Amino acid sequence: MANMADVLLDLRNVRAGYGDSVVLDDLSLEVKEGESLAVLGRNGMGKSTLFLTIMGFTRLTGGSVSWRGEDITRLASHRRARLGLGWVAQEREIFPSLSVEENLIVMARPGPWNLKSAFELFPRLAERRRAMGNQLSGGEQQMLAIARSLMINPSLLLLDEPLEGLAPIIVEELAASIGRMATEHGTTIVLIEQHADVALSLTRKAVVLERGAIVHRAASEDLLADSKTLDRYLGLKLEVI
């Protein structure tokens, strides 16, 4: 039996979407403290919508969301962030009129993550600290988006396709950083990723989304070896890594 106190985030029978359109239907998901979870699925299956729903940015019409056993279904987004939910948006959404350093400290909260540790994780950001948000390369923006969310010292980090559109060398570097966040810092991570192989090697558990519902749950290790399931839901044959 799982200890209730260990459950950070609990979605039960959630139905949510935009305006009148329902994207997630009857979705249930549990994330425990210290866990790392990969969310896989083809484009348009509702992965980003899942994160937006957790953050309170979609229209929720059924089910409930709780945080450490407390109902947050109707809680304002900024309060969820203050409770410890960190969100890295798919589009990065760096503040263009803030410098790199300002992006990092504008909403920072006390904890192990501070400017120093963020710059240690991403030395490139230290070099660019005075640059404005709109002067960064794609890779730099991605690092900044992750570091900015870490600066609020979240208990749970939602990462939406952090490796998308980056050069292979940066993908490696970022993947290693994400791995370190999970293992060394014990940050609980939920990772949406198109590169299923990378996502599965960085996480312990995985779920597959299809048309707004979870259609498969597995240990990442097992799913990585299960090319039949991967092929069925993601339509990709994994090369041997």
Partner 1 sequence: MLGSMAGILFDGFAYGMLLFLLSVGLSVTLGMMNFINLSHASFGMLGGYVTVTLMQQLGWPFLATLPAAFVISALVGMVMERFMFRRMYRATDLDQTLLTIGVVFMSIAGAAYIWGTVQQPVVMPDYLSGSFLVGGVNIARYRLFLIVVALVITLLMIGGLEWTRFGAQIRAAVDNQRMARGLGLDVDRTFSLTFSLGSGLAGLGGALAIAMVGLDPGFAFAYLIYVLIVVSVGGLASIWGSFVAASLLGICDMAGKYYVPQLGSFLIYLMMVGILMWRPVGLFGKR
Ligand X SMILES: Nc1ncnc2c1ncn2[C@@H]1O[C@H](COP(=O)(O)OP(=O)(O)O)[C@@H](O)[C@H]1O
Segment interacting with ligand X, rule: CB under 6 A, options 39-47, 72-80, 91-99, 197-205: 39-47
Decide which of ligand X, Mg ion, partner 1, none touches 149; Cβ closer than 5 to 8 Å per partner kind: partner 1
CA 85, CA 74: separation in Å to the nearest integer? 15
- DSSP secondary structure of 151-183: TT--SEEEEESTTTT--HHHHHHHHHHHHHHHH
| Single-letter code of the amino acid located at 38 | A
What is residue 25's three-state secondary structure? Answer: strand
Q: Does 112 bind partner 1 (CB under 8 A)?
A: no
Task: Kindly write out the interface string for residues 72-111 of this chain, putting x where it contacts partner 1 by CB under 8 A and - elsewhere.
Answer: ----xxx--xx----x-x---x-xxxx---x--xxx-x--
Decide which of Mg ion, partner 1, ligand X, none touches 43; Cβ closer than 5 to 8 Å per partner kind: ligand X
Among 8, 14, 16, 23, binds ligand X (CB under 6 A): 23
- DSSP secondary structure of 36-83: EEEEE--TTSSHHHHHHHHHT-SEEEEEEEEETTEE-TT--HHHHHHH
Q: Does 120 bind ligand X (CB under 6 A)?
A: no
Where along the sequence are the contacts to partner 1 (CB under 8 A)? 55, 57, 76-78, 81-82, 87, 89, 93, 95-98, 102, 105-107, 109, 133, 148-149, 152
